[in-house]
A = this chain, B = another copy of it.
Amino acid sequence: MITTQLLHPQSIVVVGASNNTHKPGGAILKNLINGGYQGELRAVNPKETEVQGVPSFADAKELPDTDLAILAIPAALCPEVVETLAGEKQTRAFIILSAGFGEETREGALLEERILETVNKYGASLIGPNCIGLLNTWHHSVFTQPIPNLNPQGADLISSSGATAVFILESAVAKGLQFNSVWSVGNAKQIGVEDVLQYMDETFDPQKDSKIKLIYIESIKNPDRLLFHASSLIRKGCKIAAIKAGSSESGSRAASSHTGAIASSDSAVEALFRKAGIVRCYSRGELTTVGCIFTLPELKGRNFAIVTHAGGPGVMLTDALSKGGLNVPKLEGPLADELKSKLFPGASIGNPIDILATGTPEHLAIAIDYCEEKFENIDAILAIFGTPGLVTMFETYEVLHQKMLTCKKPLFPVLPSVRTAGEEVAFFLEKGHVNFADEVMLGTALSRIINAPKPAVPEIELFGVDVPRIRRIIDSIPQNGYIEPHYVQALLHSAGIPVVEEFVSGNKDEVLAFARRCGFPVVAKVVGPVHKSDVGGVVLNIKSEQHLALEFDRMMQISEARAIMVQPMLKGTELFIGAKYEEKFGHVVLCGLGGIFVEVLKDVSSGLAPLSYEEAYSMIHSLRAYKIIQGTRGQKGVNEDKFAEIIVRLSTLLRFATEIKEMDMNPLLATDKEVIAVDARIRIEK
């Protein structure tokens, strides 16, 4: 739980405070003092009566009541101090910096457990152990450097790694990004990343609270909660970017189905972030660049004007934007000519707008004004202004400063001369601005943001899905593993998913009778072996009773063969839908075209069940081979609405049948009229 005493303590004690600022207990006290903490500061140090000018007590028992305690003492001593403070001193918030707990030994884990019990008993907050602390505009309770500039509208950073938080700040400070708070949750014994987000969501005040959240997380312990509160915050107007590290490890796990092989646990993260509307980043530089973009007015479109006095960077930025699907539209016509007439001869207007190396600050102002007021096909302005060092850039950057205050369209300053114009850049940042020193990293981050989907509507599409029947079927299945075809058929039917008519029997006459009834040609498949085609257990396009009788006899000889399944032979484009249950995340649903598209090209989109129609369409549209679904030259397309419908219905089915661990429909056969599942496999585990 997150208490007022944690966020806004009236008094803070550093237990293990030191005059040696090379130790965490010294450094954190120094940061608190330098940060101008306005409450009462106290220290506990048995050897001193004063530490760094702060009154020191020999023992926690001697302290007056204190809101927040920061512990920088050996792990073994922590439980008792916590008990004393919570039990006797009304302390309702603890930050434990010390390591040596559950991350190292079993004994440590027990210590942690004891502390948790105590803080929970007293309704107190616990940050850590094994963390760098918590920093906000009221108190700088971290022992690390750098301390960024603080601002109630700055970013909130929540990190599951203390060192990474520190290095993210290094990257952020250079860009001028300011912060409202920095949370290092360490071992997250009580408060993890999800808890902080939940608190921010539940107490969100759109007038006062920061709207920028940056997250570094290594393991998502509670995906549902992360999803719920992240998307809720985004719907309330927040912007969230996150690094989920460890995306590569799990690709290699063994799996028994196509879906299993394709859906790594990273697909689950990918799907979760998409569903929540979180912008996914992969490096500290990217995360802080995205954070800086979040501080500027919201982008309303994809059309950028680049204003510069140097050609090259504008060209590289144009390339980066185009690669991300953003536009640098040509500027032409009378307004463009008018602008050109106000600049030096030789200036170019086409976009990038190059006011020339000799262009004046006034020229810059004019060019920005045209983009802001006159060019209606421009949504945002990128200004690239470095220097070869002849004159100072104060005047130019003052123009940028003024324009950033007044422009309604976002104006992105790219100031590459961070050394040569170091003073000017610093002066510009001091006014509260950010700087994107590398234009290409800015371009890439912009496309990441614009291409991130909005949070999905958290509703389950129940229409036409017979949930009680689904539960009855699942409950009646006698054993784990791949389930019998008739269960598969029944489950898909219950969700309203069209399935090809089929008949399974070990009796040749019955099989022949079914084929006569449904009409030739038919498909025959052996029932029993898992990889049917590898053992010659699939025959397509059987056109006569005689041929079917022959294949029946042959297939029943295949090892493990128990029966033969017959279906009418359908035609159409092969589609694929699969799903995999990912521990804690729920079902990751994949869709794509079938055959080589899924097996060789791995061209699949992923989503997290349950899925809305909007999400299903967005999954379909993001396939590389989407054009085939639309229909290409000479070939009719596929009924996209039916495809989306099956994705949505399946995702609903899965939500009520979490026993399904892996499944695929491969192929579904699709025409411009219908999409029908032809083969499906489902593995359950109860």
Q: Which residues of A contact B (CB under 8 A)?
A: 21-24, 27, 99, 103-105, 132, 143-146, 159, 161-164, 166-167, 170-171, 173-174, 216, 218, 243, 245-249, 251, 282-286, 309-313, 315-316, 318-320, 322-323, 345-346, 357-358, 386-391, 416-420, 437-441, 533-534, 596, 599-601, 603, 624-625, 627-628, 632-634
**A105, B603: Cα distance in complex, Å:** 52
Are A145 and B218 closer than 8 Å at their CB atoms? no
**A21, B388: Cα distance in complex, Å:** 12
Minimum CB–CB distance from A649 to chain B (whole Å) comes to: 28
List the 6 shortest-distance A-B pairs measured between CB atoms, nearest first.
A164-B312, A145-B389, A163-B310, A283-B440, A248-B322, A144-B388
Return 16 A-B CB contacts under 8 Å, by A number.
A24-B390, A144-B389, A162-B388, A164-B313, A167-B386, A170-B417, A170-B437, A171-B438, A174-B419, A245-B312, A248-B319, A251-B322, A282-B440, A283-B441, A596-B632, A601-B625
Query: Which residue of the partner chain B has the closest CB to A130?
Result: B357
Contact of A167 among B174, B312, B315, B390 (CB under 8 A): B312
Are A170 and B416 closer than 8 Å at their CB atoms? yes
Are A285 and B319 closer than 8 Å at their CB atoms? no
Query: Which residue of the partner chain B has the closest CB to A23?
Result: B390
**A439, B167: Cα distance in complex, Å:** 11
Assuming the A-B contacts A282-B319, A345-B104, A388-B132, are A167 and B310 also in contact, with contact meaning beta carbons closer than 8 angstroms in the complex?
yes
**Which chain B positions have C-beta within 8 A of A311?**
161, 163-164, 218
With most chain B CB atoms within 10 A of its CB, the pick from A322, A416, A625 is A416
Are B163 and A357 closer than 8 Å at their CB atoms? yes
Assuming the A-B contacts A283-B441, A316-B282, are A161 and B632 also in contact, with contact meaning beta carbons closer than 8 angstroms in the complex?
no
Assuming the A-B contacts A419-B174, A599-B632, are A440 and B285 also in contact, with contact meaning beta carbons closer than 8 angstroms in the complex?
yes
With most chain B CB atoms within 10 A of its CB, the pick from A105, A389, A599 is A389
**A345, B105: Cα distance in complex, Å:** 9
**Which chain B positions have C-beta within 8 A of A174?**
418-419
Minimum CB–CB distance from A87 to chain B (whole Å) comes to: 31
**A358, B293: Cα distance in complex, Å:** 36
Chain A interface main SS type? loop
Contact of A245 among B145, B163, B316, B345 (CB under 8 A): B316
Minimum CB–CB distance from A577 to chain B (whole Å) comes to: 20
**A216, B319: Cα distance in complex, Å:** 14
**A105, B596: Cα distance in complex, Å:** 57
Known: A216-B312, A251-B322, A286-B440. 16 other contacts (CB 8 A): A105-B346, A144-B388, A163-B309, A167-B312, A170-B417, A171-B416, A218-B311, A218-B312, A243-B316, A245-B315, A248-B318, A283-B440, A533-B633, A534-B633, A596-B625, A601-B625
Are B283 and A316 closer than 8 Å at their CB atoms? yes
Query: Which residue of the partner chain B has the closest CB to A356?
Result: B99
**A170, B313: Cα distance in complex, Å:** 13
Query: Which residue of the partner chain B has the closest CB to A247?
Result: B319
Minimum CB–CB distance from A251 to chain B (whole Å) comes to: 8
**Which chain B positions have C-beta within 8 A of A420?**
145-146, 166, 170
Are B170 and A633 closer than 8 Å at their CB atoms? no
**Which chain B positions have C-beta within 8 A of A173?**
419
Query: Which residue of the partner chain B has the closest CB to A20?
Result: B390
Contact of A439 among B161, B283, B437 (CB under 8 A): B283
**Which chain B positions have C-beta within 8 A of A416?**
167, 170-171, 284
Assuming the A-B contacts A310-B161, A417-B170, A438-B171, are A282 and B132 also in contact, with contact meaning beta carbons closer than 8 angstroms in the complex?
no
**Which chain B positions have C-beta within 8 A of A417?**
166-167, 170
**A534, B85: Cα distance in complex, Å:** 83
**A103, B356: Cα distance in complex, Å:** 11
Query: Which residue of the partner chain B has the closest CB to A438?
Result: B285
Minimum CB–CB distance from A443 to chain B (whole Å) comes to: 9
**Which chain B positions have C-beta within 8 A of A285?**
438, 440-441
Assuming the A-B contacts A104-B345, A170-B386, are A312 and B161 also in contact, with contact meaning beta carbons closer than 8 angstroms in the complex?
yes
